[in-house]
Structure 1
Amino acid sequence: MRAAVYRSTGPAAEVLEVVELELPEPGPGEVRVRIVTSGINPTDWKRRAGLTGRTPDGFQVPHHDGAGVVDAVGSGVDGLVVGQRVWLYLAAFGNRYGTAAEYAVVPAVRAVPLPDGASDELGACLGVPALTAAHCLGGNPGALQGRTVLVAGGAGAVGHYAIELAKHAGATVVATVSSDEKRALAEDAGADLVVRYPDQDVSRQIRDVVQHVDRIVEVAPATNLELDLAVLRDGGTIATYAAEGDLVLPSGKLMTANVTLAFVLLYGVSSDQLADAVRWTSDALAVGALSALPVIPYALERVADAQDRVEQAAVGKVVLSVAAR
């Protein structure tokens, strides 16, 4: 099979190459998936660049997310059959076969049925962003009915799915963005109110429309904490999934308001919590509540350029189109 691999960490153009690998066989509890699309996340280029402190064991096929068709099933696998369309998540976590290849072998739990009405591009957009969003929202859609959620960075991948999942759960959603272009993306995702960061009196604009916010999905806690505390209700939660330098906490304000500050990294989420996030995402997907981000397509052979595009903070989702011969 053709596969993108890297054997050492470093710049994309220096360490990534497309090679021929022997077709892997699924072991017990695993499935092999013929990959159609491979979605790229910031965590993918950061790991390849060596920012996570991990080095490949021999070689690594990158990328956690993607969509394809089950090609072979290992022993002990229930619920998946050959020929079934699936979307993948965390494919390269503890596994050398990520989705930047014609085939990937993954634990069966990381392959989730993809409905007939959902495109392969949508399948490649899910994974890390949608599951992170679901976990930041508390993992339980029933708890959001009638609540108000603030999504910081509503045009990003996690922000996009935080808006859609929260709306699917019956919440009112406020989103913040940095530009009019991104405002349109957040509105398309279904946000009830979208406010630009550069505008004046952002907290007043929010409070003029909603009395308070119950939960915040935060992309830039150090930058936005003052705004968050200005609109969050007492006893509310700020769930942040991104780190941006040192965060200085006003402990008195946080304690007085009984604020819960949660830090989310999908790799460390428990299996039960991850299952909750997968279930919520799948339920929303089944009723057409989730949509693809604007897709920026690349061929497998241009994987280095594609990862660089993600590193440059492209607006939308960079996706490899992978076609098995």
Structure 2
Amino acid sequence: MRLVVADTLGEPSEVLHLQTRAIPEPGPGQVRIRVTAVPVHASDLHTIRGRYGFTPEFPTVPGIESVGVIDEIGSGTDGLTVGQRVITIGVTGTWQEYVVADARRVLPVPAGMSDSTAAQILANPLTAVILTGAELDVRPGEWLLQTAAGSTVGQSVIQLGTHVGFKTLNVVRRRSAVEDILALGGTAVICTEDEDLRERVADIAGHDGVSKAIDCVGGQVGADVSRALVPHGELVVYGALSTHRQTDPDKLTIPIFARSLIYETKTVRGFWLFRWFHRDPEGSDGCSDRPDSSARRQRRVACAGGAADPPRKVRRSRLFGRSSRTRRQTAAGVRTVGGRYVRQTRVDSRREDARPANAKYVAAPQNSRRGLPVRSGYSNSSVGTTGV
């Protein structure tokens, strides 16, 4: 079989090579999958360059998602059949023609779903659900400011906003992308090619401003997003696309404006899906006893999927003496000529203790809140999909 191998750390175009190896055999409880498509994630390229959250041993076969057809089943494997189309979950090294995986790490693919969508159904859509749910708890009617709106995560966020009812303020680099974002359902678009991000946020959002944002660009764009938020605003950074070609580790930065961060008491924090999956448990299995409505939404996606290792409960920091998930303060300010806000603080009365401690949460039907079926067509975004 053929496979793509990275010999060492370096630029993907220089260190990736096509090799040939024997087709692997499945062991007990395993299946062998003839891979039909794999995505090329930005994180895959970051890993090869040595600038991701972990560094594998080299040589290595990249890839964290795949779709294919089962062509052989190991002994003691139940519930799956030869010829069945499946996706892999938590299986690495997928950039090859055949992948062997534990049976518990594969899921059947619905008949109407394309290979392109199935191959990237986990990492990016799940990131979008978690960011808008457990991380920021974006509610109907609220604004969410996001960068890289044309990316796979960005498009998923736009569709979630349309489904749930929150408004998306979408940042793109090129004027040619504006119409596509609006056609997808984006509420408003800011083009940094010819518009000032902070001024446009103030013009579009009005005197209430924007208090929640997600960023996967970093650099000056990420800094501008932070400054555009109202006092007590929250920015979650989940990527650094602006640094992909940067070779100096000291330049992998976001130049946060100190006065805005300190005197407007804003929060900037990171998010990494890999670490979310490996949080320390605060309960039994991570898929139950979750007395929190926002977190319950994204757990429906992960737990209903039958992942081998259920995602752990999300532990939120109490560093500042409160949980933004249970008692959230947002600013509804009046914008002055000097660009400042006079804020009127409201305290969200949602409380964790208002929900039964032993509540059990199960997979939601597709027409329920946040139970949004993923739309096909993601392959035309920043994540490429390649057929094998």
| Partner secondary structure for residue 209 of structure 1 | helix
Residue by residue over 1:109-164, the C-alpha shift from the partner in whole angstroms, topping out at 9 and shown as x without a partner, is: 65344332221111223333223333332447975333221111111233222322
Are residues 215 and 167 of structure 1, via their aligned partners in 2, closer, same or farther at CA, if it must alter by over 3 Å?
Answer: farther
CA distance in 2, matches of 1:74, 1:260: 50
Aligned-pair CA distance for 1:19: 0.9
Q: Does the aligned pair in 2 maintain the 1:135–1:277 contact within 8 Å?
A: yes
Pick from 184, 193, 197 the counterpart of residue 198 of structure 1.
Answer: 193
The one-letter code sitting in structure 1 at the alignment partner of 2:23 is: E
Matching residue of 1:235: 232
Are residues 260 and 141 of structure 1, via their aligned partners in 2, closer, same or farther at CA, if it must alter by over 3 Å?
Answer: closer
Residue by residue over 1:239-293, the C-alpha shift from the partner in whole angstroms, topping out at 9 and shown as x without a partner, is: 1112342234344432443423221222222345999647448777975443323
Are residues 41 and 220 of structure 1, via their aligned partners in 2, closer, same or farther at CA, if it must alter by over 3 Å?
Answer: same
Aligned-pair CA distance for 1:83: 4.6
Task: Say whether residues 1:219 and 2:216 are aligned partners.
Answer: yes
CA distance in 1, matches of 2:102, 2:160: 25
CA distance in 2, matches of 1:220, 1:15: 25
| Partner secondary structure for residue 161 of structure 2 | helix
Matching residue of 2:149: 154
Larger strand percent: 1
Are residues 158 and 287 of structure 1, via their aligned partners in 2, closer, same or farther at CA, if it must alter by over 3 Å?
Answer: closer
Matching residue of 2:122: 127
Q: Equivalent pairs: percent with the same residue? A: 23
The one-letter code sitting in structure 2 at the alignment partner of 1:319 is: T
Q: Does the aligned pair in 2 maintain the 1:27–1:74 contact within 8 Å?
A: yes
CA distance in 1, matches of 2:6, 2:149: 33
Q: Does the aligned pair in 2 maintain the 1:151–1:174 contact within 8 Å?
A: yes
CA distance in 2, matches of 1:140, 1:241: 11
RMSD: 3.6
Q: TM-score, normalised by structure 2?
A: 0.63
Relative contact order higher in (CA < 8 Å, ≥ 6 apart): 1
CA distance in 2, matches of 1:9, 1:293: 29
Q: Does the aligned pair in 2 maintain the 1:141–1:280 contact within 8 Å?
A: no
CA distance in 2, matches of 1:265, 1:240: 9
Are residues 78 and 185 of structure 1, via their aligned partners in 2, closer, same or farther at CA, if it must alter by over 3 Å?
Answer: farther
Matching residue of 2:181: 186
CA distance in 2, matches of 1:237, 1:77: 46
| Partner secondary structure for residue 204 of structure 2 | coil
Residue by residue over 1:86-130, the C-alpha shift from the partner in whole angstroms, topping out at 9 and shown as x without a partner, is: 3345531xxxxx222222234556534433222111122333322
Are residues 27 and 175 of structure 1, via their aligned partners in 2, closer, same or farther at CA, if it must alter by over 3 Å?
Answer: farther
Are residues 214 and 291 of structure 1, via their aligned partners in 2, closer, same or farther at CA, if it must alter by over 3 Å?
Answer: farther
Are residues 276 and 168 of structure 1, via their aligned partners in 2, closer, same or farther at CA, if it must alter by over 3 Å?
Answer: same
CA distance in 2, matches of 1:9, 1:251: 35
The one-letter code sitting in structure 1 at the alignment partner of 2:239 is: A
Matching residue of 2:34: 34
Pick from 261, 284, 292 the counterpart of residue 254 of structure 1.
Answer: 261
CA distance in 1, matches of 2:171, 2:3: 38
The one-letter code sitting in structure 1 at the alignment partner of 2:20 is: V
CA distance in 1, matches of 2:161, 2:105: 23
Q: Which moved more, 1:228-237 or 1:209-218?
A: 228-237
Q: Which runs of 5+ in 1 are unaligned?
A: 93-97, 296-314
Are residues 169 and 70 of structure 1, via their aligned partners in 2, closer, same or farther at CA, if it must alter by over 3 Å?
Answer: farther
Larger helix percent: 1
Q: Does the aligned pair in 2 maintain the 1:3–1:21 contact within 8 Å?
A: no
Pick from 310, 320, 323 the counterpart of residue 386 of structure 2.
Answer: 320
Q: Does the aligned pair in 1 maintain the 2:71–2:82 contact within 8 Å?
A: yes
Aligned-pair CA distance for 1:38: 0.7
Q: Does the aligned pair in 1 maintain the 2:129–2:298 contact within 8 Å?
A: yes
CA distance in 2, matches of 1:86, 1:317: 20
Are residues 181 and 200 of structure 1, via their aligned partners in 2, closer, same or farther at CA, if it must alter by over 3 Å?
Answer: closer
CA distance in 2, matches of 1:79, 1:149: 41
Q: Does the aligned pair in 1 maintain the 2:198–2:227 contact within 8 Å?
A: yes
Q: TM-score, normalised by structure 1?
A: 0.74
Q: Does the aligned pair in 1 maintain the 2:77–2:103 contact within 8 Å?
A: yes
Are residues 176 and 14 of structure 1, via their aligned partners in 2, closer, same or farther at CA, if it must alter by over 3 Å?
Answer: closer
CA distance in 2, matches of 1:193, 1:56: 44
Are residues 44 and 111 of structure 1, via their aligned partners in 2, closer, same or farther at CA, if it must alter by over 3 Å?
Answer: same
Task: Say whether residues 1:101 and 2:96 are aligned partners.
Answer: yes
Q: Does the aligned pair in 1 maintain the 2:6–2:15 contact within 8 Å?
A: no
The aligned runs of 1:1-325 (5 Å cut-off) are 1-11=1-11, 12-26=13-27, 28=29, 31-52=31-52, 54-56=55-57, 60-71=60-71, 83-92=83-92, 98-106=93-101, 110-139=105-134, 143-210=138-205, 211-243=208-240, 244=243, 245-271=252-278, 272=286, 277=298, 279-280=300-301, 287-295=372-380, 316-322=382-388
Q: Does the aligned pair in 1 maintain the 2:160–2:372 contact within 8 Å?
A: no
| Aligned residue pair count | 296
CA distance in 2, matches of 1:5, 1:229: 39
Q: Does the aligned pair in 2 maintain the 1:31–1:72 contact within 8 Å?
A: yes
